């Protein structure tokens, strides 16, 4: 992953720490923020489908992808806010998830 991602995650965590503190209530809000961002993904997908006949099509794939990226970044900030290294957590989780895939050819 790009260094810009990790710089953004660290800087966001530092900014939030300075602005809001780091007590359990603040950590709870940072975790709940992931759910809020996921709701925005749902809204973008609904908008892409044009599911609301009053509004029609209001989003495109780029909007959905941007919202998904917001979820990922928000989750990484929450992980760092817990005092963990988001790179290590993400890499470890990716390895465990990948191990579940029934991949016949590991060479690529």
Per-residue b or e along 67-103, where b marks 16 or more CB atoms closer than 10 Å to that residue's CB = bbebbebbbbbbbbbeeeebeeeeeeeeeeeeeeeee
The model's pLDDT over 45-70, given as tens digits with 9 standing for 90+, comes to 999 999 999 999 999 999 999 999 99
Domain boundaries, the chain: 3-98
At the topology level, CATH places domain 3-98 in Helix Hairpins (1.10.287)
DSSP state of 57: -
Handedness of CA 30, 33, 37, 42 (dihedral sign): positive
Predicted local distance difference test score (pLDDT) of residue 35: 98
Residue 106: is its pLDDT beyond 80?
A: no
Per-residue b or e along 39-63, where b marks 16 or more CB atoms closer than 10 Å to that residue's CB = ebbebbbebbeeeeeeeeeebeeeb
The model's pLDDT over 2-24, given as tens digits with 9 standing for 90+, comes to 799 999 999 999 999 999 999 99
Distance CA 23, CA 26 (A): 5
Q: What is the pTM of this model?
A: 0.90
């Amino acid at each position: 992953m790009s260094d810009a991602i990790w710089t953004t995650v660290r800087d966001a965590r530092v900014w939030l720490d300075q602005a809001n503190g780091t007590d359990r209530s603040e950590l709870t809000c940072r975790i709940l923020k992931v759910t809020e961002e996921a709701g925005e993904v749902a809204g973008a997908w609904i908008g892409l489908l044009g599911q609301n006949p009053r509004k029609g099509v209001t989003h495109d794939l780029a909007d959905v992808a941007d919202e998904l990226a917001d979820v990922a970044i928000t989750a990484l900030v929450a992980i760092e806010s817990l005092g963990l290294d988001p790179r290590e957590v993400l890499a470890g989780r990716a390895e465990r998830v990948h191990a579940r895939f029934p991949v016949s050819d590991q060479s690529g």
